[in-house]
Amino acid sequence: MADNIKMEVRHISKSFPGVKALDDVNFKLKKGTVHVLCGENGAGKSTLMKILYGIYHQDEGEIIVDGKVVKIANPIDARNQGISMIFQELSFVSDMTLEENLFLGRWIKKNACLIDWEKIRDETKKLLEKEGLPYKPDTPLRSMSVSNIQMIEILKAVSFNAEILIMDEPTSSISNKDVESLISKIEELRSRGMSIIYISHKMDEIFRIADEITILRDGKTITTLQKDETNIDQVIELMVGRKLENQYPKEIMEIGEEIFKVEHLTKQGVFEDINFNVKRGEIVGFAGLVGAGRTETMNTLFGLDTYDSGDVYLNRKPIQVRNVREAIANGIAMVTEDRRRYGIIPVRSVMENASLATLKKYFAGGRRHKHEEIKDISEVFEKVRVKTPSLETPIKSLSGGNQQKVILAKWLLCNSEVMIMDEPTRGIDVGAKKEIYELIGDFAKNGKGIIMISSELPELMGMCDRIYVMKEGKITGCLENREIFSQEQIMNYAVS
């Protein structure tokens, strides 16, 4: 019986200044299974995984691999124990090629100083072939998509002969199609006897691949469930500690005048002849496959990028959005897709991050209005339920989902007319998602307009009044009546 257990975590606790991230966590990973960790943002999932991978060290407790207590002081120790990890925020050297990344730090050498590139190429080819991946060894990583790079990371793990693979939210930034290939890869690895710890906020995905599910709440293990003996509602209830009803709290609102209109927006080779409008009180969705040009179009409307031709109107008046400042001044706000790139200033405090777009207000008249700033921020944080030890904490030490909430708070503080949201609930737990939907609803209720890009169709269909569908840089259709939204029709427009 006992030799069925690949790894066990016993009584692990871990504190950071001001937070107890993990509090007596226990769980067992069985050989050849997929073990899913579930929990709200900040529950401690990533922290636990970083301990297993030797990036953080537990204050108390022990880790047991193959029946032996092991000390994991750093990632090299972890690898020697057969543990590999794919991070929530991918890390790689983007200027290097596939093969260089694969053998980084463990070069095959000809002699004491020279690297045997030929052998490395051969090995890489063999590995790629074995795993059935159609890439070339000399592809530079920067030219590969996130999902391809993930596959490379898996390849790396395999080449280390890893027996335990940790994946922290691997599907939060890849397309649905890529999710499919990832899942079949995971199933294949499992059938080869690999044990996998998998973290995700997406319930449908969890229930497809899990064998066992362990639930963390506030740093404590609540329970471990067998997939076959539980259901989504039970898991959610255990996660958030209460029953959650009506995931999409959509209120039908009075739709007002047109607030935002885009005509013939074109950027050579990226998007073409984009026409759409948004009315007051309306939530307008944008569906499409990854690469359909939705993000590019919206980034342009927010001034992050330029366009060749076309007109933008706000309240029926033509406006210019040559840069972000103009967009904000005109009353446009945007929660961008790439949080690490356009969203956060990692080393600065949560407060500074939250007020970054409203500095003029808090420094009006040439002096700082500290109390106003703190009061406003505390209020929005309460609304979006940001979990942070203090307002002074650097945003990088918040959990991924909480960082996203701070970004959301930043734009809610802005009092804008139109809010563009590109994958606003990425990496956010189910409970908090609902709260965010409610906030989006409130925003619309105040007569503002919302544009929402999402790759989760249920989310779009649950929240939007209208849905535009894009394909290869063009709008190919618009679903006007929320009573008869259908996934099939959206997919039709998206691929037709």
Partner 1 sequence: MEEKKKSLDLSKLISKYSLVIILIVMMVVCSIANSNFLSAPNLLNVVKQQSVFILLALGAMLLISAGCLDLAAGSIVALSGVVSLYAYQIFPNVFVAFIVAILVAIACNLVSALMVTVFNTPPFIATLAMQLIARGLALYITGGQNLSGVGKDLAAVGQESTLGVPNSIYIMLILFLAVVYLTKYTIMGRSIYAVGGNEEAANGSGINVKAVKIKTYVINGLLTGVAATIYLSRVNGGMPNGAQSYEFDAMIATIVGGTSFSGGVGSASGTLIGAFIVGFLNNIMNLVGIDSYLQQVARGVIIGGAVIWDIYFKNKKTYKKGK
Ligand X SMILES: Nc1ncnc2c1ncn2[C@@H]1O[C@H](COP(=O)(O)OP(=O)(O)OP(=O)(O)O)[C@@H](O)[C@H]1O
Taking the complex as a whole, how short is the minimal distance between the CB of residue 455 and Mg ion, in angstroms?
19
Across-strand partners of 20? 15
User: 215 vs 38, 163, 253, CA distance in Å?
Assistant: 5, 23, 37
State the amino acid at position 424 in one-letter form: P
Q: What token pair was written down for 169?
A: 């939210």
400 or 424: whose CB is closer to Mg ion? 400
Give the interface size with Mg ion as a residue count (CB under 5 A): 3
Among positions 12, 27, 28, 56, the unique one binding partner 1 when judged by CB under 8 A: 56
Q: What angle do CA 428, 434, 435 make, to 5 degrees?
A: 90
Residue with tokens 């269909």: 461
CA distance 430 to 188: 28
277 or 397: whose CB is closer to ligand X? 397
Among positions 2, 113, 347, 484, the unique one binding partner 1 when judged by CB under 8 A: 347
Identify the three-state secondary structure at position 27: strand
Using CB under 8 A, which residues numbered 361 to 380 contact partner 1? 363, 366-368
Do residues 240 and 42 lie in contact, with contact meaning Cβ atoms separated by under 8 Å?
no
Residue 263: which residues within 8 A CB-CB, separation 6 or more? 275, 310, 311, 312, 313
Q: 359 contacts which partner out of partner 1, Mg ion, ligand X, none, CB within 5 to 8 A by kind?
A: partner 1
Q: At how many degrees (to 10) do helices 176-191 and 146-159 cross?
A: 10
| Residue 22 found at the interface with partner 1 (CB under 8 A) | no
188 or 338: whose CB is closer to ligand X? 338
Dihedrals φ, ψ of 73, to 5°?
-90, -25
Taking the complex as a whole, how short is the minimal distance between the CB of residue 432 and ligand X, in angstroms?
9
| Residue 322 found at the interface with partner 1 (CB under 8 A) | no
Using CB under 6 A, which residues numbered 31 to 50 contact ligand X? 39, 41-47
| Residue 7 found at the interface with ligand X (CB under 6 A) | no
Q: What token pair was written down for 189?
A: 């690895």
Adjacency order of strands within the sheet including 317-319: 271-279, 258-267, 309-314, 317-319
Sketch the per residue contact string, 62 through 101, with ligand X: x for CB under 6 A, - otherwise.
Answer: --------------------------x-------------
Identify the three-state secondary structure at position 10: strand
State the amino acid at position 247 in one-letter form: Q
Taking the complex as a whole, how short is the minimal distance between the CB of residue 91 and ligand X, in angstroms?
15
Quote helix, strand, coil % in the chain, to nearest 5. Answer: 40, 25, 35
| Residue 15 found at the interface with partner 1 (CB under 8 A) | yes
Do residues 130 and 154 lie in contact, with contact meaning Cβ atoms separated by under 8 Å?
no
192 or 341: whose CB is closer to partner 1? 341
Among positions 8, 9, 14, 376, the unique one binding partner 1 when judged by CB under 8 A: 14
Using the rule CB under 5 A, give the single segment among 115-123, 132-140, 398-406, 407-415 that binds Mg ion: 398-406
User: 37 vs 78, 197, 470, CA distance in Å?
Assistant: 19, 7, 34
| Residue 424 found at the interface with ligand X (CB under 6 A) | no
Among positions 22, 39, 46, 195, the unique one binding Mg ion when judged by CB under 5 A: 46
CA distance 283 to 450: 5
Taking the complex as a whole, how short is the minimal distance between the CB of residue 279 and partner 1, in angstroms?
25
**Site residues, ligand X (CB under 6 A):** 16, 19, 21, 39, 41-47, 88, 387, 397-402, 429
- The residues that touch partner 1, with contacts defined as CB under 8 A, are 14-17, 56-57, 59, 302, 304, 323-325, 327-328, 334, 336, 341-348, 352, 355-357, 359-360, 363, 366-368, 397, 410
**Where along the sequence are the contacts to Mg ion (CB under 5 A)?**
46, 88, 400
